[in-house]
Structure formats: C-alpha cells, structure tokens
C-alpha cells in the first residue's frame, strides 16, 4: 500500500496535488491587500525592493563608487524596509506550502519548455537568464510588476496599472504564439 502511494507521489506532476481553488487563492490575495493597505500602508509589490537589493550585487560589478553615484540608486538606496522583508517572506511561504503539500520538486527544465525546446538544461538556463534580464528591466521601466502594478495597482483602478496589464498580456500572448508555434 505504502509503495503504491509513494510511487503516486513521485510520478504526479508538481502541480497536480495542490487543489486549492484559484478563486479562493485570489480572494486570499485580495484580503491580504486589505491588510497591506489598512495596517501597513504598503501595497503588495516585489520589484522595487528587488532593485534595492540588486544594488548589493552591482557593487562588485560596477564598483562601489558607481553605485553610490548612480542617480537611480540614490533615489532607491538599499534599506531593510517593509518591501525587502516582504520579499524575503515570499520564498519562505512558498517553501512551507510546497513541503506541506508534498509538491517540492527539483526542476531544471519545465515540462512545457521540454515539449517545445527539448531537454537541454543549458538552453533553458540561458533563456531563463535572458528572460529575467528583460522582465526586470521592463518592470523597472514600467514602475512595477504583476504584483505592484497588476494586483495592487489594478485594484486601485490606477490608469498606469491597467495600461500595464493590457500591454503586458497583449505582448505576452504574441510572443507566446511565436515561441510555441507549430513547426
């Protein structure tokens, strides 16, 4: 009996056994936003704090002088504020959830990618890195990400955030159609 259960656990894809309704999860994030606004006065967001932390990594790359002189980091220096601690909390919560639901898995190449581009780890890593560069540059240029603009800004009916949502989804759909087109 145990072996059957164990092999079931091993063979099911990493998402198959989490069965919370996406609507319930969405409502939970909405509720979290109430607390973020009313208690902390700091809407959910990720990339502002992320770029604060990035200045740490920039020191060995462009030198401490250049970081100190940089106009962007002057306006957004590294400080251990609400956003940075919030950022630290995200992986902690995801880790707890993954372990509790038994969905923690090492993933080098995701299935969707493997199906289209093959099992090459190097290829996937290069794409992930480049995608990461582009998404963060875009997020900083737009002033937020899926959390800061998409959810926090969207729920405030901010003009900037709805423009972000519309353009982000439109280009995403276009690129996805190109990337996953049938050969």
Query: Scanning residues 141 to 160, which ones bind other proteins (CB under 8 A)?
Result: 141-160
Q: DSSP assignment, residue 144?
A: -
Q: Is 8 in the site for other proteins (CB under 8 A)?
A: no
**How many Å apart are CA 179 and CA 117, to the nearest integer?**
9
Pair of tokens at residue 70? 């940089």
- Minimum Å distance from CB 1 to other proteins? 27
Binders of other proteins among 57-86, rule CB under 8 A? Answer: 57-58, 61-62, 70-73, 80, 82-86
Among 12, 64, 90, 118, binds other proteins (CB under 8 A): 90
First to last CA, the chain: 44
Is 109 in contact with 120 (CB distance < 8 Å)? yes
Sign, CA torsion 83/92/100/125: positive
Residue 4 or 92 having the CB closest to other proteins: 92
**Greatest Cα pair distance in the chain:** 64
Q: Which residues contact 56 (CB under 8 A, 6 or more apart)?
A: 78
Candidates 6, 12, 32, 63; binder of other proteins (CB under 8 A) is 32
Binding mask 104-143 for other proteins (x = CB under 8 A): xxxxxxxxxx----------xx-xxxxxxxxxxxxxxxxx
Q: For residues 1 and 112, which CB has a smaller minimum distance to other proteins in the complex? A: 112
Taking the complex as a whole, the smallest distance from the CB of residue 88 to other proteins amounts, in Å, to 6
CB of 50 within 8 A of CB of 85?
A: no
9 binds other proteins (CB under 8 A): no
Taking the least distance from each CB to other proteins, the nearer of 2 and 22 is: 22
- Considering CB under 8 A, how many residues would be counted as binding other proteins? 127
Q: Helix, strand, or coil here: 115? A: helix
């Amino acid at each position: 009996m145990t072996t059957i259960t164990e092999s079931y656990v091993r063979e099911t894809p990493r998402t198959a056994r989490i069965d919370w309704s996406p609507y319930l999860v969405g409502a939970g994030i909405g509720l979290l936003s109430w607390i973020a606004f009313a208690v902390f006065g700091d809407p959910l967001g990720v990339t502002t704090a992320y770029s604060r932390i990035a200045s740490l990594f920039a020191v060995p790359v462009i030198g401490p002088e250049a970081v100190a002189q940089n106009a962007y980091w002057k306006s957004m220096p590294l400080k251990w504020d609400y956003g940075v601690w919030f950022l630290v909390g995200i992986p902690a919560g995801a880790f707890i959830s993954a372990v509790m639901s038994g969905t923690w898995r090492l993933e080098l190449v995701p299935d969707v990618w493997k199906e289209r581009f093959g099992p090459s780890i190097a290829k996937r890593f290069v794409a992930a890195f480049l995608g990461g560069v582009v998404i963060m540059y875009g997020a900083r240029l737009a002033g937020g990400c899926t959390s800061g603009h998409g959810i926090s800004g969207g729920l405030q009916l901010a003009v900037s955030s709805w423009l972000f949502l519309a353009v982000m989804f439109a280009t995403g759909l276009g690129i996805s159609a190109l990337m996953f087109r049938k050969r």
